[in-house]
Structure 1
Amino acid sequence: LDLTPDGHADKPRCLSNLGNAFERLGELGDIKNALSVKRQAVDLTPDGHADKPGLLNNLGNAFQSRFEHLHDPEDISEAIAAYQRATKNTSGPPLTRYNAARRWAILCLKHQSVSSALNSYNVVLEIIPQIVWLGQTIHHRYEQLPRIGRTINAAAATAISAGDLPRAVEWLEEGRSIVWKQILQLHTPLDELRQKHPDLANELSMVSLALGNAGTSDFHDIGLETKQKSAEDEAQNHRKSAVRYEELLAQVRELDGFGSFLRPKKFSELVSAASNGPVVLVNVAELCCDALVLCTSGEIVPVPLPTFSYKQAKVLDLKLLSLRAQLDRNRNGDRASRPAVKDHSFISVLVNLWSYVVKPILSEIEAALYENADSSLPHITWCATGALAFLPLHAAGIYGSEDPTKDVNISDFAVSSYTTTLSALLGSGSNSKQDPTVFHSVLIVSQPATPGPYLGLPGTVKEAEVIQRYASPAHTCHLTHELATVEAVSGEMSKYDIIHLACHGIQDIEKPLNSAFALYDGRLQLNRLMTLSLKNTKLAFLSACQTATGDENLPEEAVHLAAGMLAIGYPSVIATMWSIKDNDAPLIADKVYANLL
């Protein structure tokens, strides 16, 4: 350090690294030394330099460390100020600024006020789209998604605490949509811009990449002249990139159809998602758990869930995973008959969901639930987050009581369904009421004996017969055995309102887009389904195993075959959350199609 002049571009980093070393020692004197050298690092770095947000982040961390020793509120104020300055330095890498904004929000929530935390989370949500959409590799984005999901849950919980319910809905929708589009590699906002304005999209991508990589160049490979460039020269280049980025963003938002580019959808755009009945968003955050019920009237009804927690959701999820492991000893995707496992874990999961989540919500929204319902049971759509996204809210209840009159479950009060996002419901409302005189066309795909390492599924023969009993022969196509090839099925899907897949389903947790239906000549994978254009389809009935099972590391958007079918154009999907017995499938099909056709 003594040999490096103050104007050298590397000196602030060296000082900050020395400060980190002092801080790790943990003693109060060492933390004071850390603060001293980290302040020098910040002071030697010009505003607008890409390194400055990171240096300010480190300084904020040191103030937090001193607070843990002295409990002086002034240290929290200093830490918040450092994180705030780091966030506002738009020349820095978005991920660095995001981390600073997140720390700023956490400190505000813990030591200041909910309103100040809300303002900081607003900045967090503004930065997140830059991390996930612009200038990052798919692998890097994927790595960030679990943390971003938890941050958005925390932001929504803060908005709920502040009474800003529309903002909470907007943020939850943004978070779910981001992860969902990333995992399934759907069209991103940048892709949509590139289709109509390619030059603008390409320049925005390049500038974003430059900002994302700012301050990370490998000086060993770029020559002496660049290495000796002053910090002020670097800062000027970074500032130019930041200014150009803001100019391009403003330019894009002036274009027709791009006013909300890289911004959450407004609540006014989402409210019609509840046109067919209440939609219940359940936010599972470490701070608290709440439900937000979007009613057909446009009102948002908040329902606190004080007896439910993030930890409890994880425990219930683990219980269910354990039970599924017992029930699914055979290959992934097997739907063959197997003996039942005598275990009370499943019933206890359903009882807990009823007592701590579903019952409190139903009690609060009883009037709204029956607002537009006719003589039949009302419809409720669940949009859960966190570990709750894996749990069977539709079956919550009390079962097997000694006194049968005490048994109760959600099906006594409403018909349940799920959605990945509110946006997924926006286009489906107009198709909900069907003309009874119009025949539904049905494509049945069955595989009683799939070639390869799969057990036989003799029940699919009866299942197909059940459907044909209700469907019009003139409007039905049945592909089975050697007729049910990957090419034939994918080619016929667009011609029918309904597709019924009675076969093995395979969930690939590591590579979700490789999840597939096992057909006669191979696997019909989700990545192939994503290339199809289906405009007039109505329903996909996935009578296969594990078609609604997702990646437990990314529960925000349970990535599964069912959600993939929603994404390719089916407004409604029936799927299994765990393995189904082969002899049960025809019974379920009989009940569904007796009412549907």
Structure 2
Amino acid sequence: MEEVIKLTPDDHADKAGQLNNLGTAFFRRFERLGKLKDIENAIHVMQQAIDLTPDGHADKAGQLSNLGSAFFRRFERLGKLKDIENAIHVMRQAVNLTPDGHADKARRLNNLGNAFESRFECLGELNDIENAIHVKQQAVNLTPDGHADKAGQLNNLGSAFSCRFKRLGELKDIENAIHVMQQAIDLTPDGHADKAGQLNNLGNAFQSRFERLGELKDIENAIYVMRQAINLTPDGHADKAGRLNNLGNAFSCRFEHLGELKDIENAIHVMQQAVDLTPDGHADKARRLSNLGNAFSHRFAHLGELKDIENAIHVKQQAVDLIPDGHADKATLLSNLGNAFSCRFEHLGELKDIENAIHVKQQAVDLTPDGHADKAAWLNNLGKAFSHRFEHLGKLKDFTEATVAYKQAAENTSSRPSTRYLAACHWANLCSKYQCSSSALDAYTVVLEIIPQVVWLGQTVHRRYEELPNIGRTINAAAAMAISVGDFTRAVEWLEEGRSIVWKQILQLRTPLDELHQQHPDLADELSRVSLALDNAGTSKLHDIDSEIEHQSAEEEAQNHRKLAAKYEQLLKEVRELDGFGSFLRHKKFSELAPAARNGPVVVVNVAKLRCDALVLCTSGEIVHVPLSKISYTQAEALHSKLLSSLQAHGVRVSRNGDRATCLARKNNQDHFGSVLADLWSHVVQPILPEIEQAVSFLFENAHHSLPHITWCATGALAFLPLHAAGIYGDPTRNMNISDFAVSSYTTTLTAMLGSGSTPKQDLNKIPSVLTVSQPDTPGLPSLPAIMKEVEVIQRYASPDHTCHLTHELANVQAVLGQMDKHEIIHLACHGIQDLKNPLSSAFALYDGKLELNALMRLSLKNAELAVLSACQTATGDENLPEEAVHLAAGMLAIGYPGVIATMWSIGDKDAPLISDKVYANLLGPRNDTEGQKVKLTPAYALHEAVKHLRKEVGETNFVKWVPFIHFGV
């Protein structure tokens, strides 16, 4: 081709075309091999072609477009700003010269969009990415379905959406990116040269969404498609290094989430390959070095080998030195370097490292505009560096700078909620540690505001539960700080706001909208429709990925779920702007929570590292504060461990499938039961009782005549401990326990005790109807022969006209659901199954399958009074989620039963019938005329008497037998 051009005179009509073709050939060889000389030659001869082509010539636009592409590629290779400016300039000319309807119009718009996107990545000017999306969308719209360019243009549009997401953090952008990128891949046949690049881009988008939402399937998908992209990219290809770098980032990201060493080893391996394959002078060299440095830092944090952090600082410093001033990535690389300095300071304590960390992190913050999605992360990093120096040197200025940085990070609404939440927690912890109570309360207020965005309705229930363990401890710390300054009202409100978060979200979606419907029926109908759809989306079980990308239907379902959540939030905002609806579905104020104590005091026990306290809600509306100075967070954890050891020693905490106790002792476990109950008495319960004496007159004077009713609402490790049995046993001279002074119940939240369904029925003359569900021989599960004794007991006391018994094949899921609303009391004598991963799948095992809470919660139970769960571990909960009440008893409260009798661990076959006998005798009274006038008791008092009887039968120190039976609600 070069020989032909030499033989063609300059004024020949074909000369320009020949030069343009030669330039295109150089360009293609550069694309394949990445040799800089080829792109230099391409630009040179393409410029000659344009100079020889007169204005108005039909080929002028195409030649300008080609030259723009060459400038663009050289910019990608060398990162010189002049090249991207030239690219945009000539590409704009090309687009303007191309008439509407021309076959190449879409392609040229697409190229111009790519150039805008690249300049945005370099300079960070928001206008560029807006222009990129605009012209790329035009290109897609102009390209008919079936056209060979359609896939590439969709892929490029997705890249622009992904880029804007990283800048602004709006979830809609990354959802759109994944959607159109997946379309592009579906349209591209296997073996096509563009397939690898499209897979790589989709992998990046999955990773970005994982970093935003934390759904594990996204990072799994990212790694899967990135590996495909690399396998499709031949050695020697110019893009090989970039794709290796991206895969390394994904491995590193998964390592941070799961902590598996293999991932960070893989990350370092492929990132080192990427760096080695990237020639000096390449525009991406700095970014790839910084990523490799991050991987070294992660491994250092995991293994503590000094060589890793030395390597991290070395390569990150190289990266910063290579990146030009004014480049949009400069702030990221500086912050990464600062993190490495901070990490080495924490390890070695050399002041110079923290000085360097603050210096470069401050630069990163200063270079990042307000509203940037990464601003909170850089501010949070800076705050940590100031905090470290403050703790090292004790200078007040560093403390102030740290709190300012944390505060600014927490309030940067464009950033990820998880980043903002961490910054707010750091702010609160720092202020709490150094007794700046007012600032700590301000910080915790922000924490509470961000939590709904972290535990978001747009996520699956399982994902929301993953976020909650640390949040629960933070809420307890916030309440402790409020208590320390005497703000008991705020402490109660915060504890209520931070408990059973997911349960309340689910119930909120099922809240009747009667008042709204009366005044604004259209809005109420729309909110009902979205609520129902969002409820279904949140509790559905998405498919797990196998050896390929998850099914498209699952991806669409997940995206639809998040769109519904956004729509729901928008509708709530509209409702709250209406007159009289400002507090619609907002967290309750104390004035709304106080009626929870109308039937007796409610004792909220807060366990936090700062302090432990009881807040007694009295029937008068007063809050009585009781400092619990004899117990600490650590001691509460130790008591819980001792209890577990005792239960394991007795063999009653053996599984989650609800098997009745076999009482086989376990080796290497000690029975601390008596000491646990004694410590609960002396450290928790006994200090509280005198303080509520005035709230409940006759508490001590008439203790044996008419016992008052106390409801416990405990947090932290105390949520799993039997406060209702606290006492000193086995010593006739000192015997004393709470049951001598009060009847105890529990509640998951104060809200659970409010509402029409939370008042005990006062019509004692009305004979309640009982639905008994028994499964002595559940298919696939061990037999429970003693269950029939429970049935006989119930039939002894319940009127034949007011009872229904479903057993064996008659006790199937649909039959039970159909009967529940017809009876005030339900007695479930069967296996209970607790599902910790998805609590709504916790269930009662029936003849034809599981009666799940998810199905139960769709009922509207207007007549419900009491649920007796004669299954095992129905109130056990998840030890990692003490504030969430993840158990069957909580679920029955949630579906409308104001009272629930449940068990804390596996119960004995002989004990359940005895308890049932006494409970129903006390609830329903005997059916003979001689004792017909006997006073009938409410469920809490009925269980109290029944347990007292069982205690005498089995011996009061046989704790494992009688302690597990508890009452929830009113």
**CA separation of 1:249 and 1:83: change in aligned 2, threshold 3 A:** farther
Q: Determine which of 322, 325, 328 is the counterpart of 2:652.
A: 328
Deviations 1:375-430 (A, max 9, x none): 621111111111111111111111111xx242111111111111111000012577
Residue 425 of structure 1: aligned partner: 753
Residue 727 of structure 2: aligned partner: 397
Rounded to whole Å, the distance in 1 between the matches of 2:371 and 2:737 is 59
Counterpart residue identity of residue 590, structure 1: D
Counterpart residue identity of residue 335, structure 1: R
Q: Secondary structure at the match of 2:360?
A: helix
TM-score, with structure 1 as normaliser: 0.86
Residue 15 of structure 1: aligned partner: 334
Q: Determine which of 764, 778, 781 is the counterpart of 1:453.
A: 781
Q: Secondary structure at the match of 2:713?
A: strand
Say if 2:439 is the partner of 1:116.
yes
Q: Determine which of 356, 376, 379 is the counterpart of 2:706.
A: 376
Cα distance, 1:449 vs. partner? 2.4
Cα distance, 1:525 vs. partner? 2.1
Rounded to whole Å, the distance in 1 between the matches of 2:595 and 2:839 is 30
**CA separation of 1:201 and 1:513: change in aligned 2, threshold 3 A:** closer
Residue 419 of structure 2: aligned partner: 96
Counterpart residue identity of residue 447, structure 1: Q
Matches within 5 A, 1:351-366: 351-366=678-693
**CA separation of 1:405 and 1:179: change in aligned 2, threshold 3 A:** farther
Q: Secondary structure at the match of 1:92?
A: coil
Counterpart residue identity of residue 720, structure 2: F
Q: Secondary structure at the match of 1:89?
A: coil
Rounded to whole Å, the distance in 1 between the matches of 2:569 and 2:852 is 40
Rounded to whole Å, the distance in 1 between the matches of 2:511 and 2:327 is 38
Check the 8 A contact 1:396/1:409 in 2, yes or no. Answer: yes
Counterpart residue identity of residue 153, structure 1: N
Residue 734 of structure 2: aligned partner: 406
Residue 66 of structure 1: aligned partner: 389
Check the 8 A contact 1:171/1:264 in 2, yes or no. Answer: no
Check the 8 A contact 1:190/1:201 in 2, yes or no. Answer: no
Residue 517 of structure 1: aligned partner: 844
Aligned length: 552
Say if 2:572 is the partner of 1:255.
no
Counterpart residue identity of residue 328, structure 1: V
Deviations 1:133-179 (A, max 9, x none): 35545444322211111111000000000100100000000000424
Say if 2:876 is the partner of 1:571.
no
Rounded to whole Å, the distance in 2 between the matches of 1:53 and 1:199 is 36
**CA separation of 1:200 and 1:494: change in aligned 2, threshold 3 A:** closer
Q: Secondary structure at the match of 2:614?
A: strand
TM-score, with structure 2 as normaliser: 0.54
Residue 40 of structure 1: aligned partner: 363
Check the 8 A contact 1:542/1:575 in 2, yes or no. Answer: yes
Residue 164 of structure 1: aligned partner: 487
Rounded to whole Å, the distance in 2 between the matches of 1:475 and 1:352 is 45
Check the 8 A contact 1:516/1:526 in 2, yes or no. Answer: yes
**CA separation of 1:13 and 1:137: change in aligned 2, threshold 3 A:** farther
Cα distance, 1:308 vs. partner? 0.7
Check the 8 A contact 1:179/1:556 in 2, yes or no. Answer: no
Check the 8 A contact 2:653/2:906 in 1, yes or no. Answer: no
Q: Determine which of 365, 378, 387 is the counterpart of 2:717.
A: 387
Moved more, 373-382 or 33-42: 373-382
**CA separation of 1:134 and 1:573: change in aligned 2, threshold 3 A:** closer
Moved more, 550-559 or 520-529: 520-529
Rounded to whole Å, the distance in 1 between the matches of 2:584 and 2:758 is 26
Residue 142 of structure 1: aligned partner: 465
Residue 541 of structure 1: aligned partner: 868
Rounded to whole Å, the distance in 2 between the matches of 1:434 and 1:261 is 31
Q: Secondary structure at the match of 1:556?
A: coil
Rounded to whole Å, the distance in 2 between the matches of 1:191 and 1:273 is 20
Say if 2:631 is the partner of 1:308.
yes
| Structure 1 residue ranges without an equivalent (≥5) | 206-243
Cα distance, 1:433 vs. partner? 4.1
Residue 592 of structure 2: aligned partner: 269
Residue 439 of structure 1: aligned partner: 767
Counterpart residue identity of residue 360, structure 2: V
Moved more, 405-414 or 438-447: 405-414
Counterpart residue identity of residue 74, structure 1: K
Check the 8 A contact 2:461/2:838 in 1, yes or no. Answer: no
Rounded to whole Å, the distance in 2 between the matches of 1:174 and 1:189 is 18
**CA separation of 1:74 and 1:564: change in aligned 2, threshold 3 A:** same
**CA separation of 1:96 and 1:261: change in aligned 2, threshold 3 A:** farther
Residue 472 of structure 1: aligned partner: 799
Moved more, 99-108 or 290-299: 99-108
Residue 230 of structure 2: aligned partner: none
Cα distance, 1:102 vs. partner? 1.2
Check the 8 A contact 2:527/2:571 in 1, yes or no. Answer: no
Rounded to whole Å, the distance in 2 between the matches of 1:420 and 1:329 is 22
Cα distance, 1:343 vs. partner? 6.0
Report percent identity of matched pairs. 70
Deviations 1:108-131 (A, max 9, x none): 122242122112211211222222
Residue 210 of structure 1: aligned partner: none
Cα distance, 1:261 vs. partner? 5.6
Counterpart residue identity of residue 389, structure 2: R
Cα distance, 1:335 vs. partner? 1.6
Counterpart residue identity of residue 15, structure 1: L
Say if 2:823 is the partner of 1:496.
yes
Residue 219 of structure 1: aligned partner: none
Rounded to whole Å, the distance in 1 between the matches of 2:425 and 2:509 is 24
**CA separation of 1:345 and 1:531: change in aligned 2, threshold 3 A:** same
Rounded to whole Å, the distance in 1 between the matches of 2:827 and 2:341 is 64
Counterpart residue identity of residue 767, structure 2: F
Cα distance, 1:201 vs. partner? 7.8
Rounded to whole Å, the distance in 1 between the matches of 2:857 and 2:365 is 48
Deviations 1:207-235 (A, max 9, x none): xxxxxxxxxxxxxxxxxxxxxxxxxxxxx
Residue 191 of structure 2: aligned partner: none
Cα distance, 1:512 vs. partner? 2.5
Rounded to whole Å, the distance in 2 between the matches of 1:111 and 1:539 is 49
Counterpart residue identity of residue 333, structure 2: C
**CA separation of 1:10 and 1:261: change in aligned 2, threshold 3 A:** farther
| Structure 2 residue ranges without an equivalent (≥5) | 1-319, 517-522, 535-566, 925-970
Rounded to whole Å, the distance in 1 between the matches of 2:341 and 2:872 is 55
Cα distance, 1:557 vs. partner? 1.8
Cα distance, 1:370 vs. partner? 3.2
Rounded to whole Å, the distance in 2 between the matches of 1:248 and 1:595 is 48
Rounded to whole Å, the distance in 1 between the matches of 2:528 and 2:777 is 52
Moved more, 304-313 or 3-12: 3-12
Q: Secondary structure at the match of 1:32?
A: helix
Rounded to whole Å, the distance in 2 between the matches of 1:191 and 1:532 is 13
Rounded to whole Å, the distance in 2 between the matches of 1:411 and 1:199 is 46
